[in-house]
Amino acid sequence: MTETEYNLFEVAQRQFDHSAELLGLDQPTRELLRVPMREYHFTIPVSMDNGERKIFRGFRIQHNDARGPCKGGIRFHPLQTVDTIRALAMWMTWRAAIVDLPLGGSMGGVICDPHDLSQPEQEKLCRGWVRKISRELGPDVDVPAPDLMTGEQHMMWMLDEYEAIHNIKSPGFITGKPTGLGGSFGKKEATGYGIMITVREALKELGTKPEDTKASFQGFGNVAQNAIRLYQRMGGKVTCVSSWNQQDRTAYAYRKKEGIYLEELLPITNLFGEINRGKAEELGYEVLEGNAWLEQDVDILVPAAIENQITIENVVKIAPSVKLIAEGANGPTTPEAQTELSKRDILIIPDLLANAGGMICSYFEQVQGNMNYYWKKDEVLGKLDTQMTSAYIEVSDFAHKYNFNLRDAVYLIAIERVAKACQARGWV
């Protein structure tokens, strides 16, 4: 499958079909779970700063809500496609199930580039998105959250619009809000920390101490930054990170063999996780082409950017030293690459498990908002560690017992849980 032919929803369906066959699911259950239950496509008119009117395309796709209200992010991206949103919504369903949250899966987005939009234009876009879909959202129906190129401010604009439309206060409507305004402590750390909690457990199985390992990361946004922070606290060394450069419209990898320093890079990194290339060079970082993160002589690779990054074409470039890949991004490894990596006995912690920390903490925020009672940071991160550790151990035990890789184990456990919920409701 070439890059131009890559379709994330087709990959998600192939993964589902494979698991459904192993589980022996009946045909009605397969037909129900293979596609989203509901899709909303709409246009959002926005008055731009220059007086022109521009029309944006927006989406909200709800895959399945048999286990509870839908939960999923909102991403702003110029290359957004409906099939990408469909795949992400399906994966959110499985992600909630694998960490045993009483939620279903959804995802939304707008085709746009926030780099090219002023703050007032982004606010209008956020409020317009909510106006188009507010009747299909709510704390008991579908709870949005930040995703690619959206953040706290976007969520607050959306919350304010939703509350104005319905004339209520509803902090549980949306997650990813600032602390003090209904947000949860620990939310910034959650996804990155969750990745490293699973890495910690995987290294135990491999008989390796974190302080004896080195890692290379793709991406330097919030997820990667917090994963790096916890990994370094565990004693690990990060020698390379890659980052998109909007000005050049390309990615670069930044390497220091003695180890990168967050305190150096964070001040020269913007809100989108883009490192200033020139300033990094001044600080002594070796600047390489973007894909060089994959070729480093390290023990652990952490793709924490976007999908379709480890492919059958580049998998041969992964160094023999690599023992573990922790998928911080959604769908970074193609099925064909997975097959090759399995032949090399590289342990892959699949995305649905590795990056579930964000969904767990988002659920915590939803619960706190609905109760109007907020937890301290240590309590949130402690609950996160407990839930991530429990999920990893359950998946690993299942994989060893039935001789599956971790990805197959995740899908089999999650899909069976959702299928049983659909059957209990009498849907199939």
Q: What is the pLDDT of residues 10-21, one digit of tens each?
A: 989 999 999 999
Asked whether the whole model's pTM tops 0.95, one would answer no
36-170 and 188-354 share one CATH topology?
yes
Q: Which amino acid is at 379?
A: E
Alpha-carbon distance of 166 to 164, in angstroms, equals 6
Q: Which amino acid is at 394?
A: E
Report yes or no: 379 and 119 within 8 Å, Cβ to Cβ: no
Alpha-carbon distance of 225 to 188, in angstroms, equals 10
Average confidence (pLDDT) over 282-309: 92
What fold is seen in the domain 36-170? Rossmann fold (3.40.50)
CB atoms within 10 A of CB 379: 13
The pLDDT tens digits of the residues spanning 26-65 come to: 999 999 999 999 999 999 999 999 999 999 999 999 999 9
Alpha-carbon distance of 29 to 172, in angstroms, equals 31
Q: What is the largest CA-CA distance in the chain?
A: 63
Cα 83 to Cα 96, 148, 231: the distances in Å are 20, 16, 34
Was domain 188-354 assigned CATH 3.40.50.720? Answer: yes
208 exposed, middle or buried (CB, 10 Å; 0-12, 13-18, 19+)?
Answer: middle
Backbone torsions φ then ψ of 5, nearest 5 degrees: -90, -5
Among 131, 156, 155, CA closest to 144: 155
Cα 175 to Cα 90, 145, 150, 170: the distances in Å are 19, 5, 12, 11
193 exposed, middle or buried (CB, 10 Å; 0-12, 13-18, 19+)?
Answer: buried
Res. 101: pLDDT tops 60? yes
CB atoms within 10 A of CB 48: 13
For 164, the enclosing helix (H) or strand (E) is helix 152-166
Across-strand partners of 237?
214
- In sequence order, what DSSP letters do the residues of 80-103 get, joined into one string? --HHHHHHHHHHHHHHHHHTT-S-
All structural domains of the chain with their residue ranges = 36-170, 188-354
Beta pairing, strands 70-77 & 237-245: unpaired
Among 166, 163, 127, 172, CA closest to 145: 172
CA angle 153, 154, 160 (to 5 degrees): 90
What 8-state DSSP symbol labels residue 210? G
57 exposed, middle or buried (CB, 10 Å; 0-12, 13-18, 19+)?
Answer: middle
Q: Quick one: pLDDT at residue 414?
A: 98
Distance from CA of residue 228 to its chain's centroid?
16
Beta pairing, strands 347-349 & 324-326: parallel
Alpha-carbon distance of 52 to 426, in angstroms, equals 51
Backbone torsions φ then ψ of 207, nearest 5 degrees: 70, 30
pLDDT grade, residue 306 (50/70/90)? confident
Establish how many alpha carbons lie within 13 A of residue 285's alpha carbon, considering only the half-sphere containing its beta carbon. 28
Alpha-carbon distance of 101 to 336, in angstroms, equals 30
Beta pairing, strands 300-303 & 324-326: parallel
% the chain with pLDDT above 70: 99
Q: Where are the alpha helices (DSSP H) in 1-150?
A: 8-23, 27-33, 82-98, 119-133
Q: Quick one: pLDDT at residue 307?
A: 78
Res. 2: pLDDT tops 70? no
Residues 6+ apart with CB under 8 A from 427: 32, 66
Q: Quick one: pLDDT at residue 5?
A: 62
Average confidence (pLDDT) over 124-137: 97
Report yes or no: 89 and 106 within 8 Å, Cβ to Cβ: yes
Average confidence (pLDDT) over 328-344: 90
% the chain with pLDDT above 90: 89
Report yes or no: 129 and 110 within 8 Å, Cβ to Cβ: yes
Q: Quick one: pLDDT at residue 4?
A: 45
Average confidence (pLDDT) over 160-180: 96
Residues 6+ apart with CB under 8 A from 248: 277
